[in-house]
C-alpha cells in the first residue's frame, strides 16, 4: 500500500483523477461525470477495465475509439485500458484519487465499498459525483438492451458518439 500520496508519481501540484469502468458503451452519464470532474482536476484518466473472461458489447479497441471520439480529444482527458486491479492501475498512471459517478442509493453503497477497498489497496481516496437528475436513468446496460431491441439509443449517448460502431 502507498503510504503517502505525495510521491513522485502523485504530486500535490498535479491532480490526476482515475475514472475506471467498463464503459460498454460510454454514455451521456459518463460524459457528464468527466465534464464535471475536469474543473476539479488537472487531468481525468478514463480507464477502460479489461476482463479477458468477459465478451463485451463493444471490443476494448472499439470502446477506446468510441471514448476518444466522444471526449478523449478534450484537454485534460486521457483514455487508457488496464487489466487487473483498478487500484494498481491508478497508481501506475500517477493518479491521486478515483472519481466515480453515483446515480442511486445502490450505486452509493457499491461505490462506498469499492472506495474503501481501493483505499486499503492504494491509499487513494474516491471522489463521488452525483449524476445529474436528467441523466440518472441512463446506464450502459439500458443502452445495450434498447439497441438490441432495435430502439434509437442516440438520446442516451454523447453527441459525438460514433453510432455506426454499435453492433
The residues annotated with a catalytic role in the active site are: 30, 54, 103, 140
- Burial of residue 117 (CB within 10 Å: 0-12, 13-18, 19+) is middle
Give which of 83, 60, 61, 71 is closest to 27, Cα–Cα.
71
DSSP state of 142: H
Is residue 77 within 8 Å of 38, Cβ to Cβ?
Answer: yes
Residue spans of alpha helices (H) in 78-104: 86-92
Amino acid at each position: 500500500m502507498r503510504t503517502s500520496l505525495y510521491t513522485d508519481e502523485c504530486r500535490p501540484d498535479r491532480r490526476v483523477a482515475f475514472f475506471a469502468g467498463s464503459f460498454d458503451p460510454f454514455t451521456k452519464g459518463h460524459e457528464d461525470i468527466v465534464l464535471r470532474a475536469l474543473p476539479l482536476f488537472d487531468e481525468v484518466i478514463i480507464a477502460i477495465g479489461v476482463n479477458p473472461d468477459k465478451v463485451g458489447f463493444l471490443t476494448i479497441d472499439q470502446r477506446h475509439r468510441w471514448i476518444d471520439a466522444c471526449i478523449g480529444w478534450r484537454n485534460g482527458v486521457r483514455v487508457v485500458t488496464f487489466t487487473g486491479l483498478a487500484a494498481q492501475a491508478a497508481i501506475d498512471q500517477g493518479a491521486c484519487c478515483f472519481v466515480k459517478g453515483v446515480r442511486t442509493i445502490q450505486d452509493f453503497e457499491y461505490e462506498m465499498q469499492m472506495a474503501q477497498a481501493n483505499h486499503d489497496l492504494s491509499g487513494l481516496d474516491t471522489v463521488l459525483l452525483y449524476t445529474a437528475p436528467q441523466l440518472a436513468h441512463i446506464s450502459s446496460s439500458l443502452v445495450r438492451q434498447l439497441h438490441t431491441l432495435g430502439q434509437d439509443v442516440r438520446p442516451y449517448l454523447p453527441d459525438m458518439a460514433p453510432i455506426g460502431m454499435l453492433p
